[in-house]
Chains A and B, each alone.
Chain A
């Protein structure tokens, strides 16, 4: 339980508190729009792209994310609960030894991190991971 005064002040600002902790991201449709723009409305399959993220963030301000997309020329990351969902785009050239990247991102709330890869043949693949941002518990 995270219960200091500082945290209470941060969280007790009315609707912000619930937005911060709700399991339904308020900005999910922005991500759908951004993905549609990237793919031009093309179908997005699952494929071989792999997204690695913690199930529960140890610190929502700096969440380690890793994406591995063999055969991708480009991978874009989205955080569907952030006010601005676009996180980063990684581009891979023909000489890239591995089509993988890792970074740390800030997550405002419990939400999905989405990775969309553009493949060499122009098709798209997607992977999704739900990352929980919690105020902490009282483990046994």
Chain B
């Protein structure tokens, strides 16, 4: 554990550049209880170029509660360094006072109490206000969307992403890259992208047949701003056909393709770019490795792993910015670009406290218009919760436990499996659970809840495989999700072991007996990446379960023993 002072010194010593972040100021304002829109937006304009980064909004048009992770284990070179620092350690690292707004926005403990004090965060109408304020300061600021935008809510599923396209278009982005968008199916993605009024970027989006760059997605776009040329190179999520159903977009191939990234950096530099920005959906650790492997990148705007970091991380002379998820934050990055290079930077992670930042009236009306046709069915109250419901962290969250209980009970299974995704708003104790809330943690285009039988041996194969996708020490082999959530099944995991040796002590919780490798177990799950999966939609399964319970209480889950972290 290094202190904040050491951390800053390490960062600065590694670079000749001048760097500053607005975070210290934000923390001070918060401590003084003077949290205000002006305070949140306060920023001394710097240099000649401004970037605005938003990412991983996951369809969240309205302000929400979203609890950040308490368990986020780093492996290999990333052990114990951001973003793999949580809770009190995270607050100490950045000088965040306990109980402050920053504590609530960026870490996990006392979430329910702080949520009542500080209210909801996010909302694209608030995001519009912040973006407009930055543009008032710097009219030619470049707005970049890191993707996972057209997915994640009731309206987004019903309109096949049109609600998000309509509202984001009103925010006027300059470019975007992609991940969950492709789960709309390639036909729908192509239809939207062909009409998109801004650049759709991905140097790693290839045609799967010929392994050549896909025509519809350009690798980069050049911007002439502030008297200089800035190249923005897109990097879509590398493992889309593996982590998501590849049969929904068979024409496309992805991968990290860092050789091609290096070639693109050379190409844009040769074409006169004085600043190279990568708009990435790699995930933070993959971005760190890419920054160390590919020379010549000034800024990586990092998405996918949903990390919210108040200060940039410096790798060589590349700064990496992580702007959170679910619409909670906007990052402003001011750059001093001179004499063919980045001379300095100043950044600020702006949390969108919805009670403090005034909604933009036009965008608020546009959001209401998207939601109006579905308002009544979304608002229907299915039950109440006595517990904090959240999903974010390497292992089960309480939403996951509730979903697994629903699968076991509604599908008459011994074991439930639920995907380790990082999206989905939180609910605080005492809240109603509406249909919209259930869709917030389940909606997807492949939500069928299967029921099948696995041998004990195959269950271990599944756990080992998913664990290696998270805990492989080489970030290039990580897919950026979390561990598959299990219901009815306990196990021990040793993070430090190689694939095949991490999982042990698998136990059927219903009987307390060890899992028998040769026996068949009835397993219910959802979000299979295989074509032709059959079963009811997961949101119907969860709704039926919650309706029967009336009030939900989720007990603490101690069924996974974690060692070697």
List chain A positions with a Cβ less than 8 A from chain B.
1-8, 11-12, 14, 17-18, 21-24, 52, 54-56, 58-59, 64, 102, 110, 132, 134-140
Contacts and interface: CB of A to CB of B under 8 A. Distances in A.
Contacts of A56: 239, 242, 255, 477, 479
A137 B465 contact: yes
A14 B517 CA distance: 9
Given A102-B211, A139-B421, 20 more contacts: A1-B462, A1-B466, A1-B525, A3-B523, A3-B525, A3-B533, A6-B530, A7-B530, A12-B454, A12-B455, A23-B499, A58-B254, A134-B465, A135-B465, A136-B242, A137-B239, A137-B481, A138-B420, A139-B481, A140-B423
Contact of A5 (B211, B423, B452, B527): B452
Interface of B: 179, 208, 211, 237-244, 246, 253-256, 259, 283, 304-306, 417, 419-423, 450, 452-455, 457-458, 461-462, 464-466, 468-470, 474, 476-477, 479-482, 484, 498-500, 523, 525, 527-533
Given A1-B419, A12-B458, A23-B499, A140 B255 contact: no
A21 B417 CA distance: 20
A23 B462 contact: no
A3 B528 contact: yes
A2 B450 CA distance: 11
A140 B465 CA distance: 16
Contacts of A23: 468, 498-500
A2 B525 CA distance: 11
Contact of A140 (B304, B417, B452): B304
B450 A137 contact: no
B407 to A, nearest CB: 12
A139 B479 contact: yes
Contacts of B305: 140
23 contacts: A1-B419, A1-B529, A2-B528, A3-B462, A5-B452, A7-B530, A21-B500, A23-B468, A54-B255, A56-B239, A56-B255, A58-B253, A58-B255, A59-B241, A134-B242, A134-B465, A135-B462, A136-B529, A137-B420, A138-B484, A139-B481, A140-B283, A140-B422
A119 B476 CA distance: 31
A140 B211 contact: no
Contact of A58 (B241, B417, B420, B484): B241
A137 B466 contact: yes
B341 to A, nearest CB: 29
Contact of B464 (A3, A21, A136): A21
Nearest to B476: A55
Contacts of A52: 259
A135 to B, nearest CB: 5
A22 B498 CA distance: 10
Given A136-B243, A139-B421, A140-B423, A18 B466 contact: no
Contacts of B454: 8, 12
Contacts of A8: 452-454, 458
Q: What are the 7 tightest A-B residue pairs by CB atom distance, in nearest-first order?
A: A139-B243, A138-B419, A140-B422, A4-B530, A137-B469, A58-B241, A139-B481
Contacts of B466: 1, 137-138
Contacts, number: 143
A54 B305 CA distance: 21
A59 B481 CA distance: 20
Nearest to B527: A138
A58 B246 contact: yes
Contacts of B464: 21
A137 B244 CA distance: 8
The interface centre, meaning the residue of A1, A5, A6, A17 with most chain B CB atoms within 10 A of its CB, is A1
Nearest to B528: A3
A134 B239 CA distance: 11
A136 B420 CA distance: 12
Given A137-B465, A139-B239, A139-B243, A2 B499 contact: no
Given A3-B450, A12-B455, A140 B482 contact: yes
B284 to A, nearest CB: 11
A81 to B, nearest CB: 13
B83 to A, nearest CB: 12
A64 B242 CA distance: 15
Nearest to A17: B461
A135 B468 CA distance: 11
Contacts of A14: 457
Contacts of A21: 461, 464-465, 499-500
Contacts of B283: 140
Contacts of A4: 450, 452, 528, 530-533
A102 B211 CA distance: 10
A17 B462 CA distance: 11
The interface centre, meaning the residue of A7, A8, A18, A59 with most chain B CB atoms within 10 A of its CB, is A8
The interface centre, meaning the residue of A64, A132, A134, A139 with most chain B CB atoms within 10 A of its CB, is A139
Nearest to A7: B530
A107 to B, nearest CB: 14
The interface centre, meaning the residue of B305, B469, B532 with most chain A CB atoms within 10 A of its CB, is B469
The interface centre, meaning the residue of A134, A135, A137, A140 with most chain B CB atoms within 10 A of its CB, is A140
The interface centre, meaning the residue of B457, B476, B530 with most chain A CB atoms within 10 A of its CB, is B530
A140 B461 contact: no
Contacts of A134: 242, 465, 468-469
Nearest to B211: A64
A136 B481 CA distance: 11
Nearest to B501: A23
Nearest to A11: B458
A59 B246 contact: yes
Contact of A55 (B240, B422, B477, B532): B477
A140 B283 CA distance: 9
Contacts of A54: 255-256
Given A17-B458, A21-B461, A140-B482, A3 B244 contact: no
Nearest to B455: A12
Contacts of B461: 11, 17-18, 21, 135
B68 to A, nearest CB: 13
Contacts of B256: 54-55
A6 to B, nearest CB: 7
Contact of A138 (B457, B477, B481): B481
A102 B525 CA distance: 39
B417 A3 contact: yes
A140 B421 contact: yes
